[in-house]
Amino acid sequence: MKRLLFPLLLSLGLICSAAASPTPPEGILQLTPYAAPALTLSDIDGAPFSLPARPGQWVFVHFWASWCGPCRKEMPAIQRMVKILASEGLLVALINTAENEDTVFSFLAAHAPDIRALMDRDGLVTEQWQPRGLPATYLVGPDGRVYYQALGGRPWDEPTYLDFLRGLLKQTH
Amino acid sequence: MMNRLCIVLVLSLCLTCTGTLFAKPRTEVKTPELTVRLIERTPEQIAAFYEARGFSKQMVQVLKAQCFLGVLIKNTSPHVIWLDLAGWTFTDQTGAVPRLDRTYWRDKWQALQIPMAHQSTFRWTLLPEKLDFRPDEREGGNILLPRRGHPLRIEAVFMLDDGTQQKPVKIRFDDIRCPR
């Protein structure tokens, strides 16, 4: 009887877990989870950051460059999203691809003054993540695996996206 | 009266000049599955963009000498569409024009000892070699060819994957020019 009960409970658990996954909004691809590539960088002030930052938390990993039009358009929405969700437990890693401090500082001062960027000075970390293009966003689960990828820039501060991210924060993998 | 004639004459000359320099700067092909837009970049546009990124004069001179075609692709179908640049052909009246791909540029920049950051930025401005365009996805980038001075024909093939089979989607651009 115990032998029968165990698979049954396991199946139920899997069904419940799948049902709890929030539905991704437009432009968010649900991936077959894979281990996040290495990410060890310093921010614009020299403070180090690496993944997994804090095990057990979702991380919003975003690659951008100031010369990229869609990145410029998207950044203010990211800043608004960060303001809303940072206190709810979302970790954010905004990685500038291959630009210098002056460029990044000027850009963020104009477009997202509250955001501190991580500096991928030679662009090699970005390439390890193999984005489809810039901007690129990945959502890394509490277990250090990549679960979602965004296609291009997204309106992250809109309710459907905020609700989706909140749904992830409530979920543990 | 004379003034008006002069203005019209000057305006016509300007338009003629503009027409020569920026002839047909954007060309768009639409099929039921996708939209592909081609933008012929001038050497001045190329120089302005890369100089603003801090690229060296040497690098900018090399880039200005090439034919830059900006390409914007949008998947308008409900299926995945594969881009594979290896299947595209570029021809002019002298024959096939070899595309200057990522391997060519990696070797070139390494030989010139270009900083890694600039190599990286340059790569991100290129059209991906391969990409599975998802429904409604839009991506773009540059294709670089040697500048030969003749009008180009570009034949592009994409593969539409509806989950059961792959179907080629072919498009063609004629009379593409590299503005000087």
Half-sphere exposure at residue B29, Cβ-oriented, CA atoms within 13 angstroms: 17
Distance, in Å, from the CA atom of A59 to the CA atom of A135, rounded to the nearest integer, reads 16
Per-residue pLDDT of chain A (173 residues; tens, 9 = 90+): 555 555 544 444 444 444 467 899 999 999 999 999 999 999 999 999 998 767 789 999 999 999 999 999 999 999 999 999 988 999 999 999 999 999 999 999 998 888 889 999 999 999 999 999 999 999 999 999 999 999 999 999 999 999 999 999 998 65
Q: Is residue A130 part of a domain?
A: yes
CA angle, A69 as apex, A65 and A73 as ends, to 5°? Answer: 95
**Residue matched to tokens 């998802």:** B134
The enclosing domain of A148 has a CATH number of 3.40.30.10
For helices A69-85 and A101-111, give the axis angle rounded to 10 degrees: 70
Amino acid at residue number B64: K
Q: How far is CA B132 from CA A121, A149, B45, B94, B99, in A?
A: 28, 14, 29, 33, 21
The pLDDT of residue A5 is: 53
Residue-range definition of the domain harbouring residue A85: 25-170
The pLDDT of residue A20 is: 62
Residues in B closer than 8 angstroms to A98, CB to CB, are 116-118, 120-121, 124
Tell me whether residue A11 is in a domain.
no
Give the amino acid at B169: V
Flag whether A12 is in a domain: no
* A142 domain-assigned: yes
Examine residue A119 and state whether it is found in any structural domain, yes or no.
yes
Contact state of A126 with B120 under an 8 Å Cβ cutoff: yes
pTM for the structure as a whole: 0.85
Q: From first to last of its 180 residues, what are the pLDDT tens digits of chain B? A: 444 444 444 444 333 333 333 445 579 999 999 999 999 999 999 999 999 999 999 999 999 999 999 999 999 999 999 999 999 999 999 999 999 999 999 999 999 999 999 999 999 999 999 999 999 999 999 999 999 989 999 999 999 998 899 999 999 999 999 988
Q: Which of A68, A97, A151 sits opposite B120 (nearest CB)?
A: A97
Instruction: Quick: pLDDT tens for A52-81.
Output: 767 789 999 999 999 999 999 999 999 999
Burial B67-90 (b: 16+ CB within 10 A, else e): bbbbbbbbbbbeebbbbebeebeb
In a domain, A83, yes or no: yes
Distance of residue A1 Cα from the nearest chain B Cα, in angstroms: 42
- Cβ of A67 and B49 within 8 Å? yes
**pLDDT at residue B25, rounded to an integer:** 57
* Residue A157, burial from CB neighbour count under 10 angstroms (0-12, 13-18, 19+): middle
Contacts of B124 in chain A (CB under 8 A): 65, 68, 97-98, 123, 133-134
Q: What is the pLDDT of residue A16?
A: 43
Residue contact B120–A122, C-beta within 8 A = yes
Is A104 in CB contact (< 8 Å) with chain B? no
Domain count, chain A: 1
Query: Which 3 state secondary structure label does DSSP give B34?
Result: strand
Cα–Cα dist B29/B73, whole Å: 10
Interatomic CA distance for residues B9 and B34, integer angstroms:
42
Which residues on chain A are in Cβ contact (under 8 Å) with B78?
A: none
Per the domain annotation, does A13 fall within a domain? no
Give the CA angle between residues B139, B142, B144 to the nearest 5°.
150
Q: Does any domain span residue A16? A: no
- Considering only CB atoms, B138 lies closest to which of A97, A99, A152, namely A152
Yes or no: domain B26-176 corresponds to CATH 2.40.30? no
CA dist., res. B5 & res. B17, Å (int): 18
Indicate yes or no: CB of A65 within 8 angstroms of CB of B117.
no
